[in-house]
Amino acid sequence: MKASGGHHRFSPTAALLFGLIVTLVTVMIYSWYIIGQVSSLQALQADLIDRNRMASTQLLRIQADLNRLALVMRDMLESAGPLASWQDQFDRIRTDLDDALRREEQVSVVARSREQTEALDRAVSRVWETAGHVFEQARIGRVEDARAAIRGPLQTRVAELGSAVGGLLIQNNETEARAAQQTQDIYRRVQRQVYWFLSATLFAIAATSLYLIHSNERLFARLAELAGERRELARTLITTRESTLREIARELHDEFGQRLTAMGAMLRRVEQKAPPGSDLKADLREVGDIAQAALENVRSLSQTLHPSVLDEIGLDSAIEWYLSTTGKQLGIPCAYARSGTPVPVDPTVAIHVYRVLQEAMNNLARHSSATSARVSLTFEPGALQLDVADNGHGMMSEGRPGLGLVAMRERADLVGGSIQFLQPGEGGTLVRLRVPLPPAAAAAARVPA
Let me know if residue 348 belongs to a domain.
Answer: yes
Query: Do 325 and 192 fall within a single domain?
Result: no
Let me know if residue 41 belongs to a domain.
Answer: yes
Residues 113, 118, 123: CA angle, nearest 5 degrees: 130
d(CA 405, CA 366): 13
Let me know if residue 293 belongs to a domain.
Answer: no
Q: Find, among 60, 79, 379, 44, the residue nearest to 179 by Cα.
A: 44
Query: Do 185 and 318 fall within a single domain?
Result: no
Query: Do 336 and 201 fall within a single domain?
Result: no
Let me know if residue 258 belongs to a domain.
Answer: no
Let me know if residue 145 belongs to a domain.
Answer: yes
Query: Do 203 and 341 fall within a single domain?
Result: no
Query: Do 80 and 201 fall within a single domain?
Result: yes
Query: Do 53 and 187 fall within a single domain?
Result: yes
Let me know if residue 176 belongs to a domain.
Answer: yes
355: domain CATH number is 3.30.565.10
Tell me the backbone φ, ψ of residue 442, rounded to 5 degrees: -65, -40
Q: What is the pLDDT, as a whole number, of residue 363?
A: 82
Which strand (E) or helix (H) includes residue 387? strand 383-390
Q: What is the pLDDT, as a whole number, of residue 378?
A: 92
Q: Find, among 268, 212, 252, 197, the residue nearest to 28 by Cα.
A: 197
**Whether the Cβ atoms of residue 340 and residue 372 lie closer than 8 Å to each other:** no
List, in order, residues 6 or more apart from 396 with CB less than 8 Å away.
Answer: 405, 421, 423, 429
Let me know if residue 222 belongs to a domain.
Answer: no
Residue pLDDT tens, the chain, 449 long: 444 444 445 566 777 677 778 777 877 887 787 777 777 777 766 666 777 778 788 888 888 888 888 888 888 888 777 888 888 888 898 899 888 888 887 777 666 677 777 888 888 888 888 888 888 888 888 888 888 888 888 888 888 888 888 887 787 777 777 777 877 887 788 778 778 877 887 887 788 778 878 888 888 888 888 877 877 777 777 777 767 777 776 776 666 667 777 777 787 777 777 777 777 777 777 888 887 788 777 776 766 676 767 777 788 888 888 888 877 777 788 889 988 888 888 888 888 898 898 888 888 877 777 788 889 999 988 899 999 988 877 655 444 456 678 888 888 888 888 998 888 877 778 899 999 987 655 444 454 44
Q: Which of the listed residues 213, 235, 252 is the one where a domain comes to its end? A: 213
Query: Do 194 and 60 fall within a single domain?
Result: yes
Let me know if residue 251 belongs to a domain.
Answer: no
Query: Do 325 and 432 fall within a single domain?
Result: yes
Q: Find, among 224, 186, 270, 219, the residue nearest to 10 by Cα.
A: 219
Three-class secondary structure of residue 385 per DSSP: strand
Q: Which of the listed residues 213, 234, 269 is the one where a domain comes to its end? A: 213
Number of domains in the chain: 2
Query: Do 88 and 201 fall within a single domain?
Result: yes
Query: Do 17 and 158 fall within a single domain?
Result: yes
- Laid out side by side, the sheet with 373-380 consists of 334-339, 373-380, 383-390, 430-436, 418-422
**Whether the Cβ atoms of residue 63 and residue 162 lie closer than 8 Å to each other:** yes
Q: Which of the listed residues 182, 213, 244 is the one where a domain comes to its end? A: 213
d(CA 359, CA 413): 15
Q: Find, among 173, 194, 180, the residue nearest to 41 by Cα.
A: 180
28: domain CATH number is 1.20.1330
Enclosing domain of residue 77: 4-213
Q: What is the pLDDT, as a whole number, of residue 47?
A: 67
Q: What is the pLDDT, as a whole number, of residue 46?
A: 65
Query: Do 322 and 432 fall within a single domain?
Result: yes
Query: Do 314 and 433 fall within a single domain?
Result: yes
